[in-house]
Structures are given as structure tokens and as C-alpha cells.
Copies of this chain bind each other. A is one copy, B any other.
Amino acid sequence: MKEHLFADHPREHCGLFSVFGVPGAAQLIYTGLFALQHRGQEGAGIATSAGAKVHSTKGEGLLNEVFTVRPPTALPGHLGIGHVRYSTTGSSRPQNVQPIVCECSDGLWALAHNGNLTNAKRLRHIYQDSGAIFQTSTDSEILMHIIADPQYRTRTRRVERALSELEGAFAFLIMTKHSVMATRDRFGFRPLSIGRLGQGYVFASETCALDQVGATFERDVLPGELVVVDEKGIRSSTFCEPVAGPLGQCIFEHVYFARPDSIVFGQNVHETRIKLGRQLAREHPVAADLVMPVPDSGNEAALGFSQASGIPMDYGFIRNHYIGRTFIMPEMAQRQDSIDLKLAIVPGVVRDQRVVVVDDSIVRGSTCKRRIAALRRAGAKEVHMRVSCPPVRHPCFFGIDFPSSGELIAAGHSVPEIRDYIQADSLAYLSLEGLLGAFEQPGDFCTGCYSGKYPVAVTEEHSKQDLEKT
């Protein structure tokens, strides 16, 4: 069942995984996507080829839901690409589930995308003006139109030329019946890694998915690079000039989005988060009896905070494993109800204690407020909230789908105001400098959501679009 609404053009978080040169590619892609399920739970899809046809299965929901009726084993072939998808409420539409599969002049193509194209709307209009029809409301579809455009199609290095038209953030997996391609935008906003598996190749948004299938991490796809694998082997080319200034790697991947066991942009996420916790303790010390994480998102930062402050850590919250990850669920209403169902308090841990609660973000504030109230009901004497990154005050145009300004509490309120709202005894965020200090090459990260300074100019249109967002 599918519904077309075509109301808005959503930005998406996603997970990508691809295999070339391994029999039973679909099962491997399924397993790899399973390790990337945290990057998207609204939809999943796999396309494969044994050389002659493109086979695909897609659907809404978690991987195991999508592949219940038609298991991955039903998709033949030694090469393929896969996708897990997250989207906001309005745009959770079946036809947008990826990979997008289509037929062009020279055959069948499939495509999976992680990121947000800032010129997608303009390109879409250009192509529509010249007669193109769009059957999804994703940014991603535009790339297929450009690839199929005769002015690119008939040239050598066609895919490179097509990619060079795109602006914004992207990691793409592209597939034909014979080959797999992997590429990242020139600022390197979104991650994409290359691995080896026997004689074959594997691509994944995070290295944790390489580990999951037993592949060896080789290197990241470089910003501005297009990697092509076919039966002749692997080839690399660049589709654009290197960025003159610093890169725009998404710092939020390290703070929140990626899995701790992944190496993202050359650095392990777990270690980064430990460092953030330590720095947070240094910047915002507090006299307290125990440090407790909001599990599991605050686990590492709380540990770092405990290490640096000397305040012992304890588990004051217990997570119910039968509920999904709150931030990532599409419906506001569901979010409200599921909060109480997700975390429980261990009263004996917090009773009569001064507790430091560490997490990686405060989004709306309402959940945080409710938890602090619950801690007090359980007997906590003081509750000090510590957040392992600066307040998110600006929109992201490069693929992280933050709530709108109206919903983001830090967008419209000062730290003291937030502290008063959530009724904490104290509240502190890590400074931007403190955050950047955790990285070896801090200049190569985009910190736009904290600083409002983006690595590439953002047109008026986008800011406006953001404000108008429902």
C-alpha cells in the first residue's frame, strides 16, 4: 500500500550498505543494514543484480518487518545496494522508500542516498521544465534525471559530471546491472566507508556495518570521490575540484547519530564521546554524589564525566528494551507516550543523592523535565543536568532533520531559561571549543547547528523554507 502526498521535500537521515562480488549479496546487505538500523527505522530496501536484471524489495518499517514476507534470500545476485530510511511525519510515504529503481536509455539503475541536496528544488524545476516527471518527493530522484540527461549520458565520465551538478550533502550508492558506485559530496558532510570481504567490496555508512559482516575497513570514500566497482575491478575518480577551505564533516554524527563502535571521519565515536564527557566535567564541575547517564545515548559522556570529575558513576535509569529509540520515532504523539515507557528509575540509587545526569542533547525539553521530576519524586536531593555538546540553535541544511525552531527549546531560549523550564538545579552545555577539542582536525567539521556558520553559503531560500516548515 502506498500513499502519494507530494507536499514537501524532506531531508533524510539514512544508512547505506552495498556489496560487490560476493554471492548471496542480499543476505550480506540485510546483515549490514541491521547494524545500521539506528540510522533509519521508517523504511528499508535492497536492490541486487546477478548481471541481467535488477531485483528489489522495499517497504515501510524496520528491516525485519519489510523482509518478513519476501526474505533477502529471494533476491539473487553478487552485487547490490541497500538503504534504511528515517523521515519526518509528513514525508513517511511508501513511494519514497529507497533504493529508487528506474530504467533509462542505457538500462536499469538503482540509487540510495544519505544527505540533503540544497539545490534539489532548483534542479527539479529545471528538469521538470524540460519535461521530466518525478514519482517521489525525495531529493535523491534528481540524480537519476541528471544521469539520464543526454548532455551527461553521452559524455565520458558521465556520472562524475552528473554528480558535479549537485550541491549540499550526500553519500550515494549507485548501481547498474554490472556495477556499484559510491560517492560523497566534496565537503564530505556524510560518512561512507570502503571495506574488503574476501575478493569482494563492501560500502557502508558506518564501519560498524563492515564489522557486522566480517569485512575489513579499508578507507573512507573521499570527499568529491567516485568509486566504481565492476568485474574489471575497483577504480577511483574525482568529480570536482578539491574544496579550497576546510571540509564540512557532520559533527553531529559523532555527538549523537553514529554508533559508538564505528570509526567515522577517521576517529572512533566512543572515544570522542568519552572525551566530550571529560571536557564537560572540566568546563562545568559540580559538587555531587553520583553521575548517571541517560542510557544509552549518554553512556560514554557520563563515563568521561565521572573519570574527569572523580564523582562515581551509577545506573539510576533502567532502559526498557522493548521500545525503540525515542528521538527517531516519527509521530509527536508517540513520543510523548513512549517516554514513560522507556526509562525507569532505580530509587535506591538516587534517594538523598545529588545526581549529575549526562546526555547528548535536550531537544524539546519536555522529556528532560519529566525525568527530572521523576528523579525528585524518587528522592534525589539535587539534579544537575549536563549536555555533551552546545545548544542546537540553528537549522541543518545538510541532512540532519532537527525538529523545527518552534520545537527546539534551545533555539528560542537561553540556558538559564531552559534550566528553569526543566527545573534542574543546574544546567550546562559543553562549549563549542570544548566540543571541537575532541577532534584532531576540528576545522574539517560542520558545526552549523551550534554556531550558525556553515561550510558553504546557505541561500535565503533555505532559511526561509526552514521557518515555513510545519
- What is the interface of chain A, defined by CB distance below 8 A to chain B? 1-7, 31, 34-35, 37-38, 47, 53-59, 62-64, 66, 69-70, 95, 97, 100-105, 108-110, 125, 128-135, 137, 144-145, 148-150, 153, 208, 211-212, 259-261, 263, 268, 270-271, 274, 296, 299-300, 303, 307, 312-315, 318-322, 324-325, 340-341, 344-349
Contacts and interface: CB of A to CB of B under 8 A. Distances in A.
B101 A4 contact: yes
Contacts of A63: 322
15 contacts: A1-B66, A3-B70, A4-B54, A5-B55, A6-B101, A104-B131, A104-B133, A131-B132, A131-B150, A133-B145, A135-B135, A259-B344, A261-B318, A296-B321, A303-B314
B6 A108 contact: yes
A3 B56 contact: yes
A291 to B, nearest CB: 12
Given A37-B320, A129-B105, A131-B149, A2 B58 contact: yes
Residue of A53, A100, A320 contacting most chain B CB atoms (<10 Å): A320
A260 B346 contact: yes
Contacts of A104: 128, 131-134
Given A133-B148, A134-B103, A344 B6 contact: no
Contact of A129 (B35, B109, B150, B212): B150
A259 B318 contact: yes
Contacts of A313: 303, 313
Given A1-B70, A212-B341, 11 more contacts: A2-B57, A35-B344, A101-B135, A102-B134, A103-B137, A105-B131, A132-B132, A132-B133, A133-B144, A135-B135, A259-B344
A105 to B, nearest CB: 4
Contacts of A208: 318, 344
B53 A6 contact: yes
Given A133-B144, A307-B312, A322-B34, A211 B344 contact: yes
B344 A315 contact: no
A25 to B, nearest CB: 16
A331 B64 CA distance: 17
Contacts of A70: 1, 3
A133 B261 contact: no
A295 to B, nearest CB: 8
Contacts of A274: 314
Contacts of A132: 104, 131-133, 148
Nearest to A269: B346
A259 B327 CA distance: 24
A266 to B, nearest CB: 12
B318 A53 contact: no
Contacts of A101: 4, 6, 95, 135
Contacts of A7: 53
Contact of A344 (B5, B212, B268, B314): B212
A153 B131 contact: yes
Residue of A54, A133, A341 contacting most chain B CB atoms (<10 Å): A133
A268 B56 CA distance: 44
B270 A34 contact: no
A307 B311 CA distance: 12
A5 B303 contact: no
B131 A1 contact: no
Contacts of A105: 125, 128-129, 131
Given A270-B349, A313-B303, A6 B103 contact: yes
